[in-house]
Amino acid sequence: MRARISHELALLRRHFGDVEHAEANGEDWFRIPRYVLPDGWRMGDKAVSELPVCFLVKGNYPGDAPYGFLTPAGLNFKGAAPNNTGAPPSTPPFSGEWLHFSWSVENWSATADVGKGSNLLAWVRSFIVRLQEGA
């Protein structure tokens, strides 16, 4: 595991203790088993308050920001399919069927110090902004 990814994983574990990491084809995948959702999200017709999310970090990270995140397939907002979602561009190494949310952050500025500037913890925390948009 690259040193940067190792440090990022440690930072994530301080806030999401059960985060999982997997390497596949020179890329890094992360899965957070219990990500808290804003009100209105459902699996089928059942309201959900948390669910797993995962995301990919390509080999050129942190030079390029990560893009998109995945939730279990079937997630909807008050019965409506969320906009700007689709099949994952890459299959994650985690079991289940996944839905890809198009998402990026503005002003990505990673620094050599993982604790400063843009990092994966800030990236994961940004998912809530997209999820608060609803469908």
Tokens standing for residue 108: 């990505």
Which residue shows structure tokens 């008050």? 78
3-state percent breakdown (helix, strand, coil) of the chain, nearest 5 = 20, 35, 50
pLDDT, block means (10 residues), the chain with 135 residues: 89 96 93 97 96 95 94 96 95 96 93 91 96 89
Contact call for residues 54 and 29 (beta carbons, < 8 A): yes
> The whole model's pTM is what?
0.94
What letter represents residue 58's amino acid? K
pLDDT for res 89: 93
In this prediction, residue 1 carries a pLDDT of 53
Tokens of 29: 């995948």
